[in-house]
Amino acid sequence: MSDNITPEHYRAEIAMLNHEIYSLTQKLEKKEQERLRAAAIDQYDPFDNPTEYKGFSGDYSKIEPNITVADYVLPLEPDYSERRNLRRNYSIGGWCTLFQFGASYLLITALAELVAGIIVMMNNGATMTSIHRYMNGSSISSGLNMLVYLICNVVFAFVGLKWAGIKGSQLIRTRDFGLGTAVQYCCAAFFLWAVSAFAGNGISEIMEEFGYASNPVDTSDYAKTGIGFAVLTIYTCIIAPITEELFFRGMLLRVLGKANQRFAVFATAFFFGLAHGNIPQFILAFTIGIFLGHITLKHGSIIPSVIVHIFLNSFSTILEEVSDTDDMFFLFAIEMIMIAGAVFGLIMLISFMVNNRLPSTTPKQSRRGFSVAAGSIPFIASVMLQLAYILANIIISKHN
Distance (Å, rounded) from C-alpha 109 to C-alpha 103? 10
Name the residue among 329, 124, 357 with its Cα closest to residue 261: 357
- The end-to-end CA distance of the chain, in Å, is 119
The rounded Cα 33 to chain-centroid distance in angstroms is 40
pLDDT of 331 = 86
Question: Do residues 368 and 86 touch, judged by C-beta distance below 8 A?
Answer: yes
pLDDT of 34 = 54
Please count the CA atoms within 13 angstroms of the CA of 286 that sit on its side-chain side.
16
Residue type, 301: S
In order along the chain (400 residues), what is the average pLDDT of each group of 10 residues? 61 74 76 53 85 92 89 91 97 98 95 90 80 87 94 98 94 95 98 95 89 72 85 95 98 97 98 94 97 97 98 94 83 91 97 95 95 97 96 80
pLDDT of 326 = 79
Tell me how crowded residue 119 is: count the other CB atoms within 10 A of its CB.
Answer: 17
Tell which phi-psi region holds residue 301, choosing left (phi > 0), alpha (psi between -120 and 50) or beta: beta
pLDDT of 339 = 94
pLDDT of 196 = 96
pLDDT of 109 = 93
pLDDT of 328 = 85
Which regions of 240-280 does DSSP assign to beta strands (E)?
Answer: none
